[in-house]
Amino acid sequence: MNDAMTLSQRADALEAKMSSELDYIVIKSRLYSMAEADMSPAPNAGQIMAKNPKARVLMGDDPRLPEMPAKPTLIDFFHYRFGPCMHLLQSARHAVKGGLSDKMVLACLLHDISTMGLIRGDHGYWGAQLVEPYVDEEVTWAIRAHQALRFYPDESVGYEYPASYVKTFGADYRPDDYVEADYKRMRDHKWYMSGRMITVHDIYSFDPNVHVELEEFTDVIGRNFRQPKEGLGFDNSPVAHMWRAMIRPAKYL
């Protein structure tokens, strides 16, 4: 580069050089753009490619993300997609100490996988759907139920409205009507207490000093999660595409 260039000219030149050398173009899903309050039209792949003829839009693995095995297991998702998930591990250990059944320990281990890997809003519903083909029906039901039950106290098991919610959502926050309606339905369900147990063992006050290894739950997963032999995302299940969305979150089409 020319020594006479200013710092910002150098940065621009470097960026131009990099983008002309980059062999892939990432175009975000509209959902991500809307989360940035960006309602502008989706980027035009043709226009971007015109500036950078060697590049292609991303249709395969994203080189910026950890590579996943061809037939990913649930444990692979924990390692390569869910990121630090100490909250789930701490909740599951808490459930073991509380004497919960094997499958309910799994429910605690999985209850927030949607916030870890897919989407936050309505995460209980998304998370339940993700695991539905692979776990006992009660596990799915409980994960779905924790979404609503977490907002409502149950004195019989010492569950109070989380103090952290008052701080996080404001003292005047009230759950949406559909959450309230689901809570009322779930209250009378035969598996109510299973869903409630997830909220009881949900560690709202994350303890940075408690370290739990996923390996502690390898056997629980093995006994209670029907890992598809083709790998999650490739077993032709009704939710396979949802797992694939986590494998390749920026796939163009």
Residue whose tokens read 């139920």:
145
Would you give the DSSP letter of residue 133?
G
Beta bridge pairs of residue 56: 24
Q: By CB under 5 A, is residue 179 in contact with Fe ion? A: no
Q: By CB under 5 A, is residue 182 in contact with Fe ion? A: no
**Smallest distance, Fe ion to C-beta of residue 124, A:** 6
Which residue in 113, 200, 202, 233 binds Fe ion (CB under 5 A)? 202
Residue 138: CB atoms within 10 A of its CB come to 16
Q: By CB under 5 A, is residue 136 in contact with Fe ion? A: no
Written as one letter, the residue type at 166 is V
List of residues 6+ apart from 166 with CB closer than 8 A: none
Q: If you count them, how many residues does the chain have?
A: 253
Please say whether the beta carbons of 177 and 171 come within 8 A. Answer: no
**Smallest distance, Fe ion to C-beta of residue 252, A:** 31
**Smallest distance, Fe ion to C-beta of residue 32, A:** 21
Q: Toward Fe ion, which CB reaches closer, 32 or 204?
A: 204
Q: Toward Fe ion, which CB reaches closer, 27 or 149?
A: 149
Size of the residue set binding Fe ion (CB under 5 A): 2
The phi and psi torsions of 185 (rounded to 5 degrees) equal -65, -45
Stretch of 13-21, 153-161, 196-204, 205-213 lying at the interface with Fe ion (CB under 5 A): 196-204
The DSSP element (H or E) to which 140 belongs, if any, is helix 137-149
Please say whether the beta carbons of 55 and 23 come within 8 A. Answer: yes
Written as one letter, the residue type at 108 is C
Binding mask 99-118 for Fe ion (x = CB under 5 A): -------------x------
Q: Toward Fe ion, which CB reaches closer, 182 or 202?
A: 202
Q: Toward Fe ion, which CB reaches closer, 68 or 194?
A: 194
Please say whether the beta carbons of 59 and 252 come within 8 A. Answer: yes
Stretch of 130-138, 152-160, 176-184, 201-209 lying at the interface with Fe ion (CB under 5 A): 201-209
Please say whether the beta carbons of 45 and 57 come within 8 A. Answer: yes
**Smallest distance, Fe ion to C-beta of residue 51, A:** 43
Residue whose tokens read 């991303």:
58
**Smallest distance, Fe ion to C-beta of residue 178, A:** 16
**Smallest distance, Fe ion to C-beta of residue 132, A:** 17
**Smallest distance, Fe ion to C-beta of residue 88, A:** 7
Q: Which residues in this chain contact Fe ion in the complex, by CB under 5 A? A: 112, 202
